[in-house]
């Protein structure tokens, strides 16, 4: 899929293909296409017929790549190698890349490449490395294997070890401007693009995903609009159904708008819920609201930790109901 807002970054990177470092870090907001960008870049580097700075899609290398069977390419995901791309994207919500996965790269990098003279290891999302796997990767980056390129993709690069970041050449991929994002969403047949972009901070792929899932998210937001009347134990499983990280994002955006309306009488993510937020602000405890916002930030840092997530969500939703004075 083509993302026009990444065209400049593509040209910048492809022009360096003859002088690439041993590791690059693609960083930027979630929902702008970094992972797809990285996959296409890897495919292009391995392509045997690259006349237009893009993979041809016809050569044997491209066919291997499209079948997830290229012998010179390895993609590390939290679920390992035997999953589809779609399954792996879902898996990032609940697990980490393990130290065994990193150690298994030793055999891969010592084998002679099959055709392109280059081996590529994609680690995405890189922030799902745990401490042990991050340290194991660091050792490889300190003594990089020959003819091997590491591509790390991160939505939250601050969660990476600083020593890993220092051993990568960083490329920051930017959000598109509003007009470009709206035009792209319209080209995909998505209506109310402005509404979805507002709820995703301007990230077009998240906006597209949210538009497809909008009914479910609206149900969850209507639960939050109940304030102190929300039944935390009854709705926690509904929040968990969309994944822990996404559930926390919905909570954070709602709390952001609640706090913003309380302090400035403006909204960022939920203009359609102005009346509900205005009503909740009449009974919200401001110090508790600010404390809860910090709790959500901390919860996002551990979203991939193997905790009892339903219990954690129940606790957060229960805290949410206590922000309001009961009538």
- Write out pLDDT tens, residues 221-267: 989 999 999 998 888 888 887 778 888 989 999 999 999 999 999 99
- Alpha carbons 274 and 272: distance in angstroms, whole number: 6
pLDDT classification of 43: cutoffs 50, 70, 90: very high
Provide the Cα torsion 244, 86, 212, 125; round to 10°: 50
Range of the domain at 15: 4-172
- Statement to judge: residues 166 and 225 lie in one domain: no
Listed residues 144, 172, 200: the one ending a domain: 172
Provide long-range contacts, Cβ within 8 A and 24+ apart, for 266-269: 268/198, 269/198, 269/199, 269/201
| Residue 326 belongs to a domain | no
User: Residue 314's domain is classified under what CATH number?
Assistant: 1.20.272.10
Least confident of 150-154, 194-198, 215-219: 215-219
The SS3 call for residue 238 is helix
List b or e across 274-302, with b for residues whose CB sees 16 or more CB atoms inside 10 angstroms.
Answer: eebbeebbeebeeeebeebeebbeebbee
- Statement to judge: residues 165 and 271 lie in one domain: no
| Residue 178 belongs to a domain | no
Looking at residue 305, its pLDDT comes to: 60
- Alpha carbons 123 and 211: distance in angstroms, whole number: 28
- Alpha carbons 202 and 210: distance in angstroms, whole number: 12
Looking at residue 35, its pLDDT comes to: 95
User: Residue 151's domain is classified under what CATH number?
Assistant: 3.40.50.300
Average pLDDT over the chain reads 87
- Statement to judge: residues 287 and 226 lie in one domain: yes
Q: What is the mean pLDDT of residues 120-135?
A: 94
What order do you get walking across the sheet with 169-172 strand by strand? 73-76, 119-123, 148-154, 23-27, 169-172
Contact 36, 1 (CB under 8 A): yes
Looking at residue 265, its pLDDT comes to: 92
The whole model's pTM is what?
0.68
User: Which segments of the chain does DSSP mark as H helices, in order?
Assistant: 7-14, 34-46, 60-66, 85-91, 99-103, 105-110, 131-142, 162-166, 178-187, 193-199, 204-212, 214-224, 232-240, 244-264, 274-281, 286-301, 309-321
Looking at residue 18, its pLDDT comes to: 81
Q: What is the pLDDT of residues 299-309, one digit of tens each?
A: 887 765 656 77
At residue 326, does pLDDT exceed 70?
no
Least confident of 44-58, 71-85, 170-184, 270-284: 71-85
- Statement to judge: residues 16 and 137 lie in one domain: yes
């Amino acid at each position: 899929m083509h993302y026009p807002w990444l065209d400049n970054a593509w040209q910048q990177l492809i022009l360096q293909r003859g002088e690439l470092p041993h590791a690059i870090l693609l960083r930027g907001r979630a929902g702008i296409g970094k992972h797809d960008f990285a996959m296409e870049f890897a495919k292009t580097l391995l392509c045997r017929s690259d006349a237009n700075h893009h993979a041809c899609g016809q050569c044997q290398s491209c066919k291997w790549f499209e079948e997830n069977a290229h012998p010179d390419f390895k993609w590390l995901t939290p679920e390992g190698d035997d999953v589809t791309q779609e399954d792996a994207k879902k898996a990032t919500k609940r697990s980490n890349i393990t130290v065994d996965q990193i150690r298994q790269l030793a055999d891969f990098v010592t084998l002679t490449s099959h055709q392109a003279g280059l081996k590529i290891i994609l680690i995405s999302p890189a922030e799902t490395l745990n401490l042990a796997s991050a340290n194991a990767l660091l050792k490889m980056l300190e003594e990089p294997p020959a003819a091997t390129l590491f591509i790390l993709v991160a939505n939250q690069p601050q969660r990476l070890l600083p020593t890993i970041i220092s051993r990568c050449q960083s490329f920051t991929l930017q959000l598109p401007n509003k007009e470009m994002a709206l035009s792209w969403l319209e080209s995909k047949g998505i209506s109310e693009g402005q509404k979805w972009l507002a709820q995703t901070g301007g990230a077009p792929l998240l906006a597209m995903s949210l538009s497809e899932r909008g009914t479910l998210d609206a149900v969850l937001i209507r639960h939050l609009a109940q304030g102190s009347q929300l039944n935390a134990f009854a709705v926690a499983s509904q929040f968990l159904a969309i994944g822990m990280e996404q559930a926390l994002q919905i909570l954070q955006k709602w709390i952001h708008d609640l706090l913003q309306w309380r302090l400035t009488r403006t909204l960022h993510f939920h203009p359609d819920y102005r009346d509900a937020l205005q009503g909740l602000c009449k009974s919200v405890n401001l110090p508790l609201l600010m404390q809860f916002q910090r709790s959500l930030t901390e919860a996002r840092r551990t979203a991939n930790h193997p905790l009892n997530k339903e219990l954690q969500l129940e606790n957060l939703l229960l805290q949410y109901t206590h922000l309001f004075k009961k009538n």
